[in-house]
A = this chain, B = another copy of it.
């Protein structure tokens, strides 16, 4: 099934724009999991099982696995989600970006090895660095546009060309109007800048937006939804990671995560 259809189905079936970010940091795990050899898999799988009916997507961040030699646990996690929760797409947050021949290798990593349904990609190296990803016609390719970190402004907010266009606006336009010939593309736009989410929505029509930065990073849910929703009240994957994952440090961590995910989904839905 193609990513854009999986996502549209999950928005509807789970009545949710919430993307659950899986950034597993073993230092924050409950004590009873810490010494397990597959603690990362167990922790993330338990979170996924507890929130799958509340989410429109899961987003594992590969750095947290790679820092701990846990690639095998990432493979197992994505396989687990696909088997147990086939309606919820998995976005591999990898932010890769390289010349075509190398991008082909990264696409094998993300789509063939890990079997991700979509991946985040950095646009700095331009269109031919994105094409090897788009060659996988059933997969989603989510380009960084306006990121939620303070330094995002250093480059993305530069004025480009003759007018008052900022670089992130031009990236949004290029992706929506030139690169997205197959309907596979989406954009990352941080929740810390609702005015800029609105600007991107204006440029890209109904293109899906992945919005990190609510919760730990301080973005406001009401402003984010108002700025980013489409006419149909969808179009968004609003990511929360830490607030859900570490809602409790006890043995009840999965139930606590579910509670926060439910509250977050419902808080989002109030403004759709």
Contacts and interface: CB of A to CB of B under 8 A. Distances in A.
Interface of A: 23, 61, 63-64, 66-67, 69, 71, 95-103, 105-106, 108-109, 112-113, 122-130, 144, 147-156, 158-162, 167, 170-171, 174, 217
B67 A105 contact: yes
Given A109-B67, A149-B99, A158 B160 contact: yes
A64 to B, nearest CB: 5
Contacts of A113: 66-67, 69
A149 B66 contact: no
Nearest to A125: B147
Contacts of A100: 149
Contact of A125 (B71, B105, B149, B160): B149
Contacts of A148: 99
Given A126-B156, A130-B151, 17 more contacts: A23-B102, A64-B102, A66-B71, A66-B106, A67-B105, A95-B98, A95-B122, A99-B147, A124-B124, A125-B149, A125-B156, A126-B151, A126-B152, A127-B151, A128-B150, A158-B161, A159-B161
Nearest to A108: B67
A159 B156 contact: no
Contacts of A158: 160-161, 167, 170
Number of identical monomers bound together in the oligomeric complex: 2
A18 to B, nearest CB: 19
Contact of A129 (B106, B151, B171): B151
A126 B153 contact: yes
9 contacts: A23-B101, A63-B102, A67-B109, A69-B71, A97-B122, A125-B144, A128-B150, A129-B151, A159-B161
A29 to B, nearest CB: 15
Contacts of A112: 67
A129 B155 CA distance: 12
Contacts of A147: 99, 124-126, 129
Contact of A155 (B61, B98, B124, B217): B124
Contacts of A103: 63
The 6 closest A-B pairs by CB, nearest first: A126-B151, A126-B154, A128-B151, A63-B105, A67-B108, A99-B149
A171 to B, nearest CB: 7
A149 B97 CA distance: 12
A251 B108 CA distance: 28
- Tell me which of A67, A69, A154 has the highest count of chain B C-beta atoms within 10 A of its own C-beta: A154
Contacts of A123: 124, 154-155
